[in-house]
Amino acid sequence: MVVGEMPLKDLLKRLREPEKILGRDINPSLFQISEMKQRMKDQDPFVGRLIAEPKIMLIGNEDDLRRLAQ
């Protein structure tokens, strides 16, 4: 999952090298910040599960994610 202001096309380009290293496809879910904030506000079930489940944060941390809900 990626939360940010990046065109999907650019994100997919950036994932090519990690895919080669891992030897598998990476299928990202890209959310604009405003969309993620709204989904959190609406208590979207998908986002709720993402928040509740364990995560490996590559950039940022759990507190950054929680701040979006405020």
Q: What is the pLDDT of residue 68?
A: 81
Q: What is the pLDDT of residue 55?
A: 84
Average pLDDT over all residues of the chain: 90
Distances (CA, A) of 4 to 15, 21, 24, 67: 15, 24, 23, 14
Does this model's pTM top 0.95? Answer: no
* Mean pLDDT across 36-53: 90
Answer yes or no: is pLDDT of 69 > 80: no
Contacts (Cβ under 8 Å, ≥6 apart) of 6:
30
Instruction: Give CA 58 to chain center in angstroms.
Output: 10
Answer yes or no: is pLDDT of 2 > 80: yes
Q: What is the pLDDT of residue 39?
A: 93
